[in-house]
Chain A
Amino acid sequence: MAKVSHYWRFVIFFLLMGPRASAAEISAQEIARLIDERLQVRSGGDAPSFADDATFLRRLSLDLIGRIPTIAEVHEFREDESESMRFRTMERLLLSGAHFRNMATFWRRAWVPQADTPEFAAVADGFEQWLAKELRQRTPYDRLVAKVLTWNSAAGGKDPVDPRGFYVANEGSPPNLAASATRAFLGINLDCAQCHNHPFARWTREQFWQTAAFFASPDKDAAGKTVPPKVQIPGSEMEYEPVLLSAGRIEWPEAFDPGAPRRILADWMTTEPNFYVAKNAVNRLWAHFFGEAIVEPVDDLSAAASAVGEHRANLLGELAQAFVKSGYDVELFIRAIVQSDAYRLASRDRPAGESDDAEWLAKSTATIRGLTGEQLYDSLRTAAGLPPGQFEGGRRGRGGQRREFVSIFYVERANNAERSISQALTLMNGSLVGELSDTSSNPTLAGLLAAPFMTLDDQIDAVFVAVLGRSPSAAELQAVTHRLEVRPEARRQDVLGDLFWVLVNSPEFNTNH
C-alpha cells in the first residue's frame, strides 16, 4: 500500500515538475556533485564516514519538514536498505505540505525576524501562509523577493495572507524598510550607515538614505507632475532621492504610481551583476542544512571576499551561479543539498581553530545543531503520537500553545543555539511535557500499553524509536530495565511515562545531529 502511494507521488511529481525541470539549465545532481567536489568529501585516503540510516532519516525530517520521523516512518525506512529508499523518502518529504510550511517559517525568520518579538508576532502567520502557498506553487525565488518588495497595500484585502508583514514589522518607515530589505534579500548590512559611514567604508550614509528613498511615496511638483520621492535625515536639512547601490542610472518614467520606485529597486536587485540575491539565498539555505553558513555573518556578504578567504567566497559564487541557472528554483537547490554526500556525513564537532579554508568547509558540515522552537514543539507532539501543530488556527486552540512554546524556545541560529535555565525548567516541569509524559494524553504510550504480546523490552524499544528515532543499545536497554527491577512496585504506565520524560529531556532529542 505504501509503495503504491509512493509511486503515485512520483507520477504526480514528474507531471508537476517535468516542464520546469527541463527548462532549468542545471540539475540537482550537478549541483550536488559540485558541492561534493568543492568540499572534497571523497578525496583523501579515508572513505567518508556517513551517518547511519536512523540518524540520516531524523536529520532529513527535521530539516525538510521540521519534525522528527514517526515510529512508522522509522520502521519503513529501516526495512528497505536500498539506495532508492533514500530518494523516495526525500521526495515524499519534499512534496509534503509540512515541507512548504517549514520552509515558509525559515524564510519568514530570515526576512522578517521582527515577527519573533512579541511586538510584531501577529504578522508571522499571514506572512508564512502566503510564503507556503508561493513555495508550493514553486514561484521562483527572484519573483518571490520582487513580490515582497513591490507589494501593493491598496490591493491587500482583509485577509492578511500576503507579504504585508514585511511592511508592518518595519513600521512602514523608509529607513527601516531599506535596512531590512538589503539585509533580508541581499545579505548586505546597511544599518551602521544609517547614522554614519560604515566603519569599513563599504557603504556610506548617503547610500543608506538613497536606498531608503525607494520606500518613500513619490511627490508631486508644483505642476502636479509626479517626481521621484525624497527622504530627509531626521533633524537635518539633508535630503535624498533614490539611487541604486551600484550607482546605475535610474530611468524614471514620465508618470508613475506609488509602487514604481520599489519596482525599480526590485528589478535592480534581481538583475544586478554581483548576484547578491542569489548569494544571500544560497548562503542562508546552506546554514539551514549544514549549520554554519558559507559566509558568516549571514547579513554581511559584502565583506565576503576580504573576510572569509578565497575558497569560501568562490564556493558561494559558484553555488549562486548554479542557483541562477536553475531559474532561482529553491526546491531544486534543496534537492541538490540533501542528495549530496556532504549532507550525509556523520555529525562531528567543529575543529577548535578555523584553520585552512578548504578544511574549514569540509569540517563545517554536519555540525550538531540545536532545534528551533517549532522543531521542538512539533517533534514533542510527533514523539507522543500526536499530529504536529503547524498552522492550527485560533488563539485559544493549539495554535496558541505552539506560538507560546515557540516564543519561549526561540533560537536565532541553530548552529550556536544555547539553552537557558528557564527553558530547561520548562522542558522538565512545564505543562506540555508533563501532559505528554502521562499515558492518558500520549497516544504512543497508550498504544504500547494496550498492545497485546508486547514485552517490556519491546515497549522500551518503541519509546526509543518514537523519541530518538532509533532503538536502544544493549547497554541502554539494560540501564532502563535495571532501574525497573529495583522498583518492582512501579506501574507500567509510570515507567513508560518516565522513560519518555527522560528521553525528551536528553541532548540527543534536543539536537539535530
Chain B
Amino acid sequence: MAVQQEVRVSRRGVLQALPLGTCGWSAMHWMPALAAAADADPATSKSVIMLWLNGGPATVDLWDLKPGHENGGPFKEIATSVPGTNISEHLPKLSAIGSEFSIIRSMSTREGDHSRARFVSATGYVPQGAIQFPSVGSLVAHEFDGMDRDIPSYVHIGGRPRITNGGFLGPKYAPFVVSGGGGRRGPAETAPADLRVADLKPAGEISEDRQRMRSELAAELRGLSVLPAGSPVVEALDSANDRARRLMRPEAAAAFDLSKEDEALREAYGKGSFGQGCLMARRLVECGVRFVEVSLDGWDTHANNFDRVKELSQQLDWGFGTLLTDLKQRGMLDSTLVVCQGEFGRTPRINGQAGRDHWPASWAAVLAGAGVRGGRVVGATSKDGIAVESTPTRTSDLMATVFKSVGLDPMKQNMSNVSRPIRLANPEGKPIEELL
C-alpha cells in the first residue's frame, strides 16, 4: 500500500510534464495510477462498470442453481475458488476467480414489467409524475464531475440506455452511447465486433485543412454573434459543440480505439460486442470515465431458455471474467466497482416452451471490486428458488451499496426539476454491510 502511494506521487510529477489529453497515453500500463493522480482528491477517484444483462437474466441458471429440484433445469453446478460457493458450469472463467466477486442471491423487487423494472433499476425510484429521475450512471458522473475532461464521464456501450437523457441533472450527464458490433455475437467470431462512436469523423471526404478552416470560421463568427449572452439554451449548445470538438481530437478519440489493444487480450474478452465492450470499458476507466455501462441483450428467454442462456453465459463469462482479471492485473480493481445485473430474474418454474418468464421476487446480482469484499454470498433462496429465505435485498439497498462502495454518500441530495430534493439512493435503502 505504502509503495503504491509513493508511486502515485511520483507519477503526478510525470503528469504535469505531459500535454493535456492524457488518454492518448492509455496504452501504457502505468496509465491507471496516472489517471488517479490527475484527480484533485484521490479518495474520490473511483469508477463503476455496469454489466447490464438486458431482458432479465435467468439468474437461477447463472448464480443460484437448484440442482436436483425440478426447477433446476439441465445445467450443472461447478465449484468456484471459494469453497462451498458454486455457480453455473457455463461460467468457467468466473468460477476460477470466485474470490474476486460476491453474489447477492436474495434480490427481491416488485416490478415485473420490463420498462418499469428498467426504470427502477436505473434510477432507484418508481416513476413519480413529472420528476425526471437520472440514472445511476448520470448520478455517479455528476458526483465525480469530470466535465473538464475530453471524454464524457458516463458512457453506455451497446443498445439503448435505460434512461437516455440525464434526467434532472441535464443532458450534460446523459449517457454517451457507443454502438455497433452488429447485435448478439458470440465470443468465437473471427473478426472482433466493430464498436464505434458515431460521427466522430466528418461524413464524406473533408480534408483536415478544410476542417480546420471550418472550426476557425465558426469560432470567429461565434464571436461576432448578436445572440444575447447568458441564455442557458445557447450556453448548452456552445458547451456541447466545444466538447464534441475536444472528443474529435485524435488523443481523445483513441480512448475508443480497440485496435490499440493486444490481439490476444481482445480475444480473451470475447470478440462479440459484449466482450469488446468490456475491454472498451476498462480502457475508458483508465482515462477517467466514471461510469461505463456495457449491455448484453437477449436475456428475455420466455422460450428455449437453456440453449440461449448457455450461449449468453459464454459471452458473459469471457467478458466479465477477463475484465476482472485484467482490472486486477492493472491494479485498477480496488478503484473500480463492477456490477452485473438485469432488471429482474426469471421464474424458477420452467414453462411449457422450456422457457422462464419474468420473476422479480427472487433473483441474483453480482458485485466486484472497489470497496466490495469478494468471495461472499449474501442471502439465500428456497430449495425451489421461488422465495428469498434470508437477507431480502431491494433495488434501493443495492443502489445504496453501489454508491457507498465508491465513496459516495447515498443520502446526498440533488435538487430535482420539480424543486424537490432527491437523494442519490432511495432513502429506504440500506447498504449491505457484510459486503463493505
List chain A positions with a Cβ less than 8 A from chain B: 118-119, 189, 191-192, 195, 297, 299-300, 347-350, 367-370, 412, 415-426, 428-431, 433-435, 438, 473, 475-476, 479-480, 483, 487, 490, 494, 498-499, 501-503, 505-508, 510-511, 513
Contact status A423-B233, CB under 8 Å: no
CA distance A189 to B130 in the complex (A): 8
Contact status A368-B228, CB under 8 Å: yes
Can you name the residue of chain A whose Cβ is closest to the Cβ of B160?
A: A118
| Given A418-B171, A418-B240, 19 new contacts (CB under 8 A) | A299-B130, A349-B228, A349-B232, A368-B228, A420-B176, A421-B176, A422-B198, A424-B244, A425-B200, A429-B199, A429-B201, A433-B203, A473-B224, A476-B221, A476-B224, A483-B213, A498-B210, A507-B227, A510-B237
Contact status B198-A425, CB under 8 Å: yes
Residues of A within 8 A of B213 (CB): 483, 487, 490, 498
Residues of B within 8 A of A423 (CB): 240
Residues of A within 8 A of B232 (CB): 349-350, 416
Residues of A within 8 A of B234 (CB): 368, 507, 511
Given contacts A420-B171, A429-B199, A494-B210, contact A513 B224 (CB under 8 A): no
| Residue picked from B152, B217, B222, B224, most chain A C-beta under 10 Å | B217
Minimum distance in angstroms from B163 CB to a CB of chain A? 11
CA distance A350 to B174 in the complex (A): 24
Contact status B204-A425, CB under 8 Å: no
- Contact partner of B204 among A297, A428, A434, CB < 8 A? A434
Residues of B within 8 A of A480 (CB): 217, 221
Contact status A428-B240, CB under 8 Å: no
Given contacts A423-B240, A425-B247, contact A479 B221 (CB under 8 A): yes
Residues of A within 8 A of B203 (CB): 429-431, 433-435
Contact status B227-A368, CB under 8 Å: yes
Name the interface size band of chain B: 35 or more
Contact status B418-A370, CB under 8 Å: no
Contact status B200-A507, CB under 8 Å: no
Residues of A within 8 A of B220 (CB): 479, 483
The verdict on B5 contacting chain A, using a C-beta distance below 8 Å, is: no
Minimum distance in angstroms from A4 CB to a CB of chain B? 36
Minimum distance in angstroms from B287 CB to a CB of chain A? 15
- Contact partner of A424 among B227, B230, B241, CB < 8 A? B241
6 contacting pairs across A/B (C-beta < 8 A) = A192-B129, A300-B129, A421-B240, A434-B204, A507-B237, A511-B234
Minimum distance in angstroms from B167 CB to a CB of chain A? 11
**Which parts of B201-243 form the interface with A (CB within 8 Å)?**
201-204, 206, 210, 213-214, 216-218, 220-222, 224-234, 236-241, 243
The verdict on B115 contacting chain A, using a C-beta distance below 8 Å, is: yes
The verdict on B128 contacting chain A, using a C-beta distance below 8 Å, is: yes
| Residue picked from B200, B204, B245, most chain A C-beta under 10 Å | B204
The verdict on B13 contacting chain A, using a C-beta distance below 8 Å, is: no
Residues of A within 8 A of B201 (CB): 429
| Residue picked from A118, A119, A510, most chain B C-beta under 10 Å | A510
| Residue picked from B201, B222, B234, most chain A C-beta under 10 Å | B234
The verdict on B170 contacting chain A, using a C-beta distance below 8 Å, is: yes
Residues of B within 8 A of A350 (CB): 232
CA distance A429 to B171 in the complex (A): 20
Contact status B231-A349, CB under 8 Å: yes
Residues of A within 8 A of B115 (CB): 119
- Contact partner of A347 among B204, B216, B228, CB < 8 A? B228
Residues of A within 8 A of B200 (CB): 425, 429
| Residue picked from A349, A367, A418, most chain B C-beta under 10 Å | A418
Contact status B244-A421, CB under 8 Å: yes
Minimum distance in angstroms from A286 CB to a CB of chain B? 18
The verdict on B177 contacting chain A, using a C-beta distance below 8 Å, is: yes
The verdict on B126 contacting chain A, using a C-beta distance below 8 Å, is: yes
CA distance A480 to B220 in the complex (A): 9
Minimum distance in angstroms from B69 CB to a CB of chain A? 27
CA distance A475 to B223 in the complex (A): 10
Residues of A within 8 A of B243 (CB): 421, 424
- Contact partner of A422 among B172, B177, B418, CB < 8 A? B177
